[in-house]
Amino acid sequence: MAIFEELAKKDHEQVIYCFDKETGLKAIVGIHNTTLGPALGGCRMWNYEKEEDALIDVLRLSRGMTYKSAAAGLNLGGGKAVIIGDPKKIKSEALFRAYGRFIQGLGGRYITAEDVGTTVRDMEWVRHETDFVTGISRALGGSGDPSPVTALGTYEGIKASIKWQTGSESLEGKSVAVQGVGAVGYHLVQHLTRDGAKAFVCDIDQENLKRAANDFRGVEVVDPDKIYDVPCDVFAPCALGAVINDKTIPRLKCSIVAGSANNVLEVEDKHATALEAKGILYAPDYVINAGGLINVANELEGYNRERAVQAAAGIYQILWQVYTIAKDEKITTGKAANTLAERRLASIGRIKQRFVGVNMQKRARGII
Ligand code: NAD
């Protein structure tokens, strides 16, 4: 693969390969765009078949983070890291500390965090070697489990979507089909049922299902295969990606799709258009599920739960902006989210062209 050609396709800034023979560390850091600030994004550990697959993944994921941070109103750029290997086999303290030293060497251009295949404990090892890591436990002054904040943001996004469609944000008497009641889904059901909504829930994990069904009122359990067919106001995917596709769209009996799962649409443009054609309002996944990122970003300023929760509640207004752009410019809500992010990047990029001297305080926090 011609790497520079690959970087040019989607305007990536930098790719860094990190190798440590002793620990077996093979990591690739992708920095897509740092217009708004340091590139922040998780570190994924995955047993990629080919090195090229790892590179493609890190490029795709880092670009996604640029859009997510920009739309969320954060002063962060887009980055991501991948470590090649089986999380069950290659993890060690030395490997993560070796990774941390490489991250430190980037001087704050990239800030790492946990992702698929890595945990809070791994990041605590990373933290021994670098200042540029987030997603640390609450006990160590970090932001801890992001799921409740992601759920709160998703809940606010659902309210904004209902208000956009009906003129009232009240959940009283509304029904939401929640696919997956794991870390995020569980807390989402809590918010929804507290406000008087009925929740249809499904999960393939019986323990998680029981917990959600027993802990809250107004919950009805549905077979995982039947969740798409439930007549409801909102379908909230909170388990897997690519669940909105050619097979499921004809089955949906909702007027809104709004949930926490990443990459909900199997084919982005095609399925955003198909939902719109069916009169279903789609809350773009990376906008509505940004609560976790907002939570982790808060760590950079000294973690404050109240501030993080307040910022995540702002997802309501951000989605409103997305829907307004979609309506005014006659584009899908998916395209409108990208437009919102691109406009912020362009406008903040422009004002940054002016030299203003060095802000030592910000430099110390890694924000210039
Ligand atoms: P989780 O693993 O805790 O929960 C997912 C739940 O979905 C599990 O209970 C699992 O059993 C269930 N599930 C899996 N396959 C299913 C199926 N076919 N049908 C029904 N249920 C199924 O994960 P989570 O942290 O709650 O995240 C949920 C989704 O939200 C994921 O797509 C994740 O990428 C996304 N997300 C999470 C966060 C966060 O803060 N945790 C942030 C942003 C996005």
What's the average pLDDT block by block, 10 residues per block, for the chain (368 residues)? Answer: 93 98 98 98 97 96 98 98 97 98 98 95 96 93 94 98 98 98 97 98 97 97 98 97 97 98 96 98 98 96 95 98 98 98 97 82 63
What is the model's pTM? Answer: 0.94
> Are residues 48 and 60 in contact, defined by beta-carbon separation less than 8 angstroms?
no
| C-alpha pair distances (Å), 197 with each of 17, 170, 193, 220, 258 | 49, 9, 5, 11, 15
**Is position 80 annotated as part of the catalytic site?**
yes
* φ, ψ for residue 296, nearest 5 deg: -70, -40
Dihedral over alpha carbons 56, 57, 59, 61 (to 10 degrees):
160
> What pLDDT, on the 0 to 100 scale, is given for residue 129?
98
End-to-end CA distance of the chain: 33
**Residue 302 burial (CB count, 10 A):** 9
Mutate to test the pocket of ligand 1, among 46, 150, 245, 263 (most ligand atoms within 8 A of CB): 150
205 CA to centre of ligand 1 in angstroms = 11
Where would I find the H helices in the chain?
3-9, 51-71, 87-90, 93-105, 120-127, 147-166, 183-194, 206-215, 268-277, 285-288, 291-298, 305-313, 315-329, 333-351, 360-364
Q: Return the sign of the alpha-carbon dihedral for residues 357, 360, 361, 362.
A: positive
Contacts of 360 (CB under 8 A, 6+ apart): none
- How far apart CA 129 and CA 103 sit, in angstroms, is 8
Of 259, 223, 220, the closest CA to residue 240 belongs to: 259
CA 59 to chain centre: 16
pLDDT at 361 (0 to 100): 67
DSSP string, 234-247: EEEE-S-SS-BSTT
How confident is the model over 171-199, as pLDDT tens digits? 999 999 999 999 999 999 999 999 999 99
Burial pattern 312-334, b for ≥16 Cβ within 10 A else e, equals: bbbbbebbebbbebbeeeebbbb
Centre of ligand 1 to C-alpha 325, Å, is: 29
Ligand 1, closest atom to CA 208?
A: 9
User: Can you give the pLDDT at residue 366?
Assistant: 61
Ligand 1 atom 27: the closest Cα is on which residue? 184
Q: Say what the pLDDT of residue 131 is.
A: 96
- Cβ 175 vs Cβ 196: under 8 Å: no
Testing ligand 1's pocket by substitution, the residue of 190, 238, 244, 315 carrying the most ligand atoms inside 8 A of its CB is 238
Q: How far is the CA of 234 from the centre of ligand 1 (A)?
A: 17
Identify the residue whose C-alpha is closest to ligand 1 atom 43: 289
| Edge-to-edge order in the sheet of strand 256-257 | 219-221, 198-202, 175-179, 234-237, 256-257, 281-282
Nearest-atom index, ligand 1, CA of 151: 40
Phi, psi of 106 (to 5 degrees): -85, 0
The minimum-distance atom of ligand 1 relative to the CA of 295 is 40
In the set 26, 80, 159, 174, the catalytic residue is: 80
The residue whose CA has the least distance to atom 9 of ligand 1 is 182
CA of 345 to the centre of ligand 1 (A): 30
Ligand 1 binding site (Cβ under 6 Å of any ligand atom): 146-147, 150, 179-185, 202-205, 208, 224, 238-240, 260-262, 289, 292
Rounded to the nearest whole angstrom, what is the distance from the C-alpha of residue 262 to the centroid of ligand 1?
A: 9
- Which of 181, 191, 203 has most ligand 1 atoms within 8 Å of its beta carbon, as the pocket-test mutant? 203
pLDDT recorded at residue 359: 72
Q: What is the position in ligand 1's atom list of the atom closest to the CA of 289? A: 43
Under 8 Å between Cβ of 177 and 223: no
Largest CA distance in the chain: 61
Give one word for 173, left, alpha or beta, with left for phi > 0 and alpha for psi -120 to 50: left
Q: In b/e form, how buried is each residue of 78-110, taking b as 16+ CB within 10 angstroms?
A: bbbbbbbbebeebbeeebbbbbbbbbeebebbb
Q: How far is CA 319 from CA 63, 158, 331, 353, in A?
A: 20, 9, 14, 29
CA of 347 to the centre of ligand 1 (A): 35
